[in-house]
Amino acid sequence: MIPFPHDALARRALESLSKRIDSVFDPAPCLAPEADDEAALVLTAARGGPEEQLVAVIVAGFLHLRYAALPAAEGRTSLVQAVGLLLPFARWDPEVRRLLKIFAQADPDLLPVGLREELRTPGMTFGRFKAMSARDIMRRCKPTSADAPELLHAIELFRHSLDDDPSAAPAERAERLHDLSLALETRERLSGEPADLEPVIRAWRDAVKSAPPATPEHGLYLHRLSGALEKRFRSQGHQADLDEAVSTARAACAAVADGHKYLPMFQNNLSLYLCHRHQRLGSRTGTADLDEALTAARAAVRTAGPSHDLLPTFRSTLTKALHARFRSTGDWCDLREAMGLGVAPPR
């Protein structure tokens, strides 16, 4: 069925609205003021006609995308309108009920009592729904530029999921911050801009604060924060960043139990950062950093065990630390141990 066969203006408005919905990763078309005029035009033209349900579904989808692109309080009017458009068709159309189940998670009270109980997802909030949607986008998209619409949309959804659900449990909030941080890291990697590293560091700091202490997740967020700080040090050369990277890497090692799968990587990175600091500061710190770096690197090799996929990386780090201390102290025991590892010496 061709909608509005005798109304070219309404047909063009409906086509334009459909194209706005198709740009799901770029909310700008749905936020444009002229989109409201198109929605009003097609709803008026469809009222009481054969296109009424089709148009209601399309306009409701447009309104829901606009709501999802905005903080909850700002976009609630759009949500109310979207649910109201679908309710008259919900009783006999399972597809409409499926859409309502998605749309009404933010505010189930918008639904009649019977339908509310039928469609409610226990524990679901719109903040959680936005986080799930953003994770799905990040799983499916393969952005090739820092301004890829799907990447930017996922970042905004993660941010809204935090703002729209302030009562989320600390562990869940930390998980969303973790996902936001990874998305921000993707943008920073693609842009190569030092300024894009700043929101990454802020997000990892917030994740560390939100995560329950002495948990593997807390250790993982500390580990990622230390990596971001060390990267900023390499970019900008501020000693404070390297010092904090070292202390944060230590805390990451302390946050997980012996034998945990994350621990060898945490220990390996701590060793690397300590070697970097000794290389920068030289004799001012004596051999303290190198001694600790060797302890951490040996622990990483021991904890990983012979079958670990990254064992060659951990052995390489240990070799670097041994060569660094040999150059600093002239102790041939370090050189012999490094040669026994069978790894080419660092240049």
> Could you count the other beta carbons within 10 Å of the beta carbon of residue 305?
10
Question: Residue 345 has what pLDDT?
Answer: 55
Least confident of 21-35, 76-90, 258-272: 21-35
pLDDT mean over 101-125 = 81
Q: Residue 250 in contact with residue 229, Cβ under 8 Å? A: no
pLDDT digits (tens, 9 = 90+) for 48-81: 998 999 999 999 999 999 988 888 888 889 999 9
The residue among 121 and 320 whose pLDDT is bigger is 320
Residue 1 binned pLDDT confidence (cut-offs 50, 70, 90):
low
Please give the pLDDT value at position 344: 61
Q: Cα–Cα distance between 164 and 71 in angstroms, integer? A: 7
For 193, the enclosing helix (H) or strand (E) is none
Instruction: Identify the band that residue 204 occupies on the pLDDT scale cut at 50, 70 and 90.
Output: very high
For 44, other C-beta atoms within 10 Å of its C-beta total 10
* Site of tokens 């894009």: 196
Are 183 and 158 in contact, with CB atoms under 8 Å apart?
Answer: yes
**What pLDDT shows up at residue 266?**
97
d(C-alpha 343, C-alpha 340), whole Å:
8
Share above pLDDT 90 across residues of the chain, in percent, rounded to a whole number? 63
pLDDT at 152 over 70: yes
pLDDT at 87 over 70: yes
pTM: 0.81
pLDDT for 295 beyond 90: yes
pLDDT tens digit sequence for 154-202 = 999 999 999 888 888 999 999 999 999 999 999 999 999 999 999 999 9
Q: CB neighbours of 188 closer than 8 A, spacing ≥ 6? A: 146, 196, 197, 200
Q: What is the pLDDT of residues 241-287, one digit of tens each?
A: 999 999 999 999 999 988 889 999 999 999 999 999 998 887 666 78
- State percent of the chain over pLDDT 70: 97
Q: Which of 320, 219, 310 is nearest to 273 (CA)?
A: 320
DSSP H helices, 91-192, are: 94-103, 113-119, 126-140, 149-163, 170-191
CA distance 222 to 256: 11
Q: Can you tell me the distance from the alpha carbon of 326 to that of 320, in angstroms, rounded to the nearest whole number?
A: 10
Residue 109 scores a pLDDT above 70: yes
Which of the two residues, 146 and 73, has the higher pLDDT score? 146
Over residues 23-45, mean pLDDT: 91
Domains of the chain, residue spans: 8-119, 126-190
| Confidence tier at 339 by pLDDT (50, 70, 90) | confident
Predicted pLDDT at 327 = 84
Q: Which H or E element spans position 92? A: none
Residue 72: its pLDDT value, please? 80
Model confidence at 299: pLDDT above 80 = yes
